[in-house]
Amino acid sequence: MYTSPMSNMSHIPAASLAALIAGILILLVPRLLNYVVAVYLIVTGILGILHIGW
Protein backbone atom coordinates (compact mmCIF):
# COMPACT_ATOMS: atom_id res chain seq x y z
CA MET A 1 0.00 0.00 0.00
CA TYR A 2 1.41 3.37 -1.04
CA THR A 3 1.29 6.25 1.41
CA SER A 4 1.93 9.78 0.30
CA PRO A 5 4.89 11.60 1.90
CA MET A 6 2.44 14.36 2.77
CA SER A 7 0.48 11.94 4.99
CA ASN A 8 3.40 11.97 7.45
CA MET A 9 3.38 15.76 7.83
CA SER A 10 1.41 15.51 11.09
CA HIS A 11 4.37 13.68 12.68
CA ILE A 12 6.93 16.47 12.24
CA PRO A 13 8.31 17.50 15.66
CA ALA A 14 7.46 21.08 16.63
CA ALA A 15 11.11 21.93 17.33
CA SER A 16 12.15 20.90 13.81
CA LEU A 17 9.41 22.97 12.25
CA ALA A 18 10.26 25.97 14.43
CA ALA A 19 13.95 25.65 13.53
CA LEU A 20 13.13 25.51 9.82
CA ILE A 21 10.88 28.58 9.98
CA ALA A 22 13.43 30.48 12.10
CA GLY A 23 16.21 29.61 9.66
CA ILE A 24 14.21 30.85 6.68
CA LEU A 25 13.28 34.07 8.48
CA ILE A 26 16.91 34.69 9.47
CA LEU A 27 17.99 34.21 5.86
CA LEU A 28 15.34 36.66 4.68
CA VAL A 29 15.88 39.21 7.48
CA PRO A 30 19.45 38.86 8.84
CA ARG A 31 18.86 41.51 11.51
CA LEU A 32 16.31 39.14 13.02
CA LEU A 33 19.20 36.96 14.22
CA ASN A 34 20.27 39.69 16.64
CA TYR A 35 16.84 39.72 18.26
CA VAL A 36 16.58 35.93 18.38
CA VAL A 37 19.97 35.60 20.08
CA ALA A 38 19.22 38.46 22.49
CA VAL A 39 15.87 36.96 23.55
CA TYR A 40 17.46 33.52 23.98
CA LEU A 41 20.26 34.92 26.15
CA ILE A 42 17.87 36.97 28.29
CA VAL A 43 15.49 34.05 28.84
CA THR A 44 18.37 31.66 29.57
CA GLY A 45 19.89 34.14 32.02
CA ILE A 46 16.61 34.68 33.86
CA LEU A 47 15.94 30.94 34.06
CA GLY A 48 19.50 30.40 35.31
CA ILE A 49 19.11 33.01 38.02
CA LEU A 50 15.80 31.49 39.11
CA HIS A 51 17.32 27.97 38.94
CA ILE A 52 14.70 26.74 36.51
CA GLY A 53 16.09 24.08 34.19
CA TRP A 54 14.95 23.33 30.67
Q: Check if the beta carbon of residue 26 is closer than 8 Å to that of residue 16.
A: no
Of the two residues 6 and 16, the one the predictor is more confident about is: 16
Q: CA distances (Å), 51 to each of 34, 44, 45, 47, 54, in order?
A: 25, 10, 10, 6, 10
Which has more confidence, 15 or 35?
35
Which DSSP category does 3 fall into? -
Model pTM score: 0.52
Tens-digit pLDDT profile for residues 7-34: 555 677 887 888 888 888 888 988 888 9
